[in-house]
Chain A
Amino acid sequence: MKQWKRFKNSYFLHSFKRDRVAIVSFVVLLTLILLSILAPVIAPHNPYDTTTIDIMNAEMPPSWMEDGNPDFVLGTDIQGRDLLSTMLYGLRLSVMIGCGAVFLQAIIGIFIGMISGYAGGKVDAFLMRIADVQLSFSTLMVAIMISAIFQVAFGVGRYEQLAVPLLVLIIGLAEWPQYARTVRASVLGEKNKEYVEAARVIGLSSKRIRWRHILPNTMSPVLVISTIQVANAVMSEAALSFLGLGMPVTKPSLGSLINSGFEYIFSGSWWITLFPGILLVVFVLVINLLGDWLRDVLNPKLYKG
């Protein structure tokens, strides 16, 4: 109760209530996440259930157009699946993979950043060089490379079976340097402050100082980049799936849906590409807007560049 009161009077909530863009994006984001979690309940059809799919329904336009079927509000895709349901399930996959990947990169990045910043010296120089080199290759390139290698190593069939955990792993491995650099920068700022010295004087172990004292104080920049990183991870997942290195067509994410629709855009079936595309853009956009707002409010010293 007390915490709630503190939250109610905080600057954080105050500035949130004054920023219309933040409110709208938050509401949209919440709705999209709810929709994706509840996809099995609200979706009118089950796109994974092959017995209910009829190929005769393929490429039906949205219901308000000619030849539209009121059964399929946004039309159907090339396999005769209801587009709206497939999109909801796809969004669910994208959100799952995005959050999983960010969780993984946060764990790797915070761990490495903490060691690097606290230890300093040679260890720091070595770890940060690795991070720099990997970043200079761009996260998308690294992700594409790793997934290409995985796909050749596992074979297409097995890769598609394991697609979700593999994508989490790939995107997690590709983007950890962002976290490592951010955490390191704030650890460097914190470690010479008086409270750390005080803790050291009391005789606490350096492990305890690192994880219980310094870590909580590095959390606000981590929070800021986490929002942007979710957007990035969702984009990376979409890009990989679009290239055929991600989710298979039988279990499409938004990226693979766009990819499957692209082949039919020349015959005029624009809806298979457009609707999943809009959903993806809106999802990523609201996260980016929220991230921008969060950065302005918390105003941490972020690693530039």
Chain B
Amino acid sequence: MFAFAVRRITQAIIVMLVIGLLGFSIKQKIGDPVRDIVGVSVSVAERDALREELGLNDPFLAQYVRFIKNAVHGDLGMSFFFKRPTLEVILSKAPATLELVFASSLIIILLSIPLGIYTAINPRNLPSRIIMGGSIVGVSIPVFLTAIILIYIFAVELHWLPSYGRGETVNVWGWESGFLTLDGLKHLILPSIALSSIMLPLFIRLIRSEMMETLETEYVKFAWAKGLSRRRIWFLHAFKNTLLPVITVGGVQLGILIAYTILTETVFQWQGMGFMFLEAVERSDTSLLVAYIIVVGALFVVVNTIVDLIYGLVNPTIRITGRK
């Protein structure tokens, strides 16, 4: 297990270095750090002096090493637009995104498990077929369209729920939370439903297929033969073994939700990282863009590594086959 963990973590570090290299080359090729600092109305001579001072004439590799060093210390450069360190800007936007992701994952988990089990136990009855049919329709509706339709129905026509923004937030130890006010929760409903709509069908299908596979196994047949009650077989014996693949695939999928937050946040003008990222693209704020790529990259790598480690912990075969 130790060797496995070391190997996975080394790999994660290599991936992070490659992401850093990509981010760094983007900055080199597209961005202009001098412009980021002084703006456009400064003479060429002063620019060149500053360029030399910042070490921008050093060889590529030396600059890359410096970039990585700074990044490890949490310095990802200054944002051209905000005139603040990029990491600070991103961290100030992170709570909004994380709360949105949390609320959607909650919806996904609470709905997909019962629905997935139900459709696996009764594969042929009418409600199951409606759920499965609905899930394929759900996969085909883009998340931004769901969001727009929700806004049109609940905000424009019915005036029940607010259509954009986060509403009232409370500052809890530097964390701007919308969970603690009624207004904040109201603002959270539509975005989190929209965000969960893309993953919910996938999770239902995943749980259903895993559960059906488990129900075919020998030990479940043996449990039937032993005369155990149906509930016990379904929820205790079968479901437990369904959970394993669901956790691993699910962990990765929840990471992927971050990608979809860009779409949801744009529609709802939710002041999170995704919204900030698109604004950075529009303003050609290269430093912020690169910092976002690195932060989100790190987030993905961390989530994936943890999921892999958990999987290695509960399923020893993965550790052995990986060794060769």
Do the beta carbons of B267 and A151 come within 8 Å of each other? no
Nearest chain A CB to B297 CB, angstrom units: 7
Known: A244-B278, A265-B152, A289-B136. A137 touches B297 (CB 8 A): yes
Specify the chain B residue showing the minimal Cβ separation from A140. Answer: B259
Complexed CA–CA distance, A137 and B151 (Å): 29
The residue of chain A having its C-beta at the shortest distance from the C-beta of B280 within the complex is A148
CB distance from A19 to the nearest CB of B (A): 14
In contact, A288 and B136 (Cβ under 8 angstroms)? yes
Q: Does B55 make an interface contact (CB < 8 A)? A: no
A144, A152, A244, A255 — which one has the most chain B CB atoms within 10 A of its CB?
A152
Contact indicator B145/A281 (Cβ below 8 Å): yes
Q: Given A140-B260, A149-B30, output 20 extra A-B contacts at Cβ < 8 Å.
A: A136-B252, A136-B304, A138-B256, A140-B256, A141-B300, A148-B277, A148-B281, A152-B30, A152-B286, A153-B30, A239-B142, A239-B263, A242-B142, A242-B266, A243-B262, A265-B152, A280-B145, A281-B137, A281-B140, A281-B145
Q: Tell me which residues across on chain A come within 8 A of B11, comparing CB atoms.
A: 129
Asked if A171 is at the interface (CB within 8 A of a chain B CB), the reply is: no
Chain A: residues with CB nearer than 8 A to chain B? 129, 133, 136-138, 140-141, 144-145, 148-149, 151-153, 231, 235, 238-239, 242-245, 255, 258-259, 262, 265-266, 268, 270, 273, 277, 280-281, 284-285, 288-289, 292, 305
Query: Would you give the shortest CB distance from B195 to chain A, in whole angstroms?
Result: 13
Contact (Cβ within 8 A) B144 A242 = yes
17 contacts between A and B (CB under 8 A): A136-B252, A141-B258, A144-B262, A145-B293, A152-B30, A239-B142, A239-B263, A243-B266, A259-B144, A262-B144, A265-B148, A273-B148, A281-B137, A281-B140, A285-B136, A288-B139, A305-B245
What is the distance, in angstroms, from B116's C-beta to the closest C-beta of chain A? Answer: 16
Query: Cβ of A238: which chain B residues have Cβ within 8 Å of it?
Result: 142
B313 within 8 A of A: no
Whether the Cβ atoms of B281 and A245 lie closer than 8 Å is yes
Contacts of A145 in B (CB 8 A): 293
B26 close to A (CB within 8 Å): yes
Q: State the CA gap A289–B293 with chains docked (Å).
A: 35
Q: How far is the CB of A197 from chain B (nearest CB, A)?
A: 24
Task: Write the chain A residue with the least CB distance to B286.
Answer: A152
Contact B152 A284 (CB under 8 A): no
Given contacts A141-B256, A148-B289, A281-B145, contact A242 B263 (CB under 8 A): yes
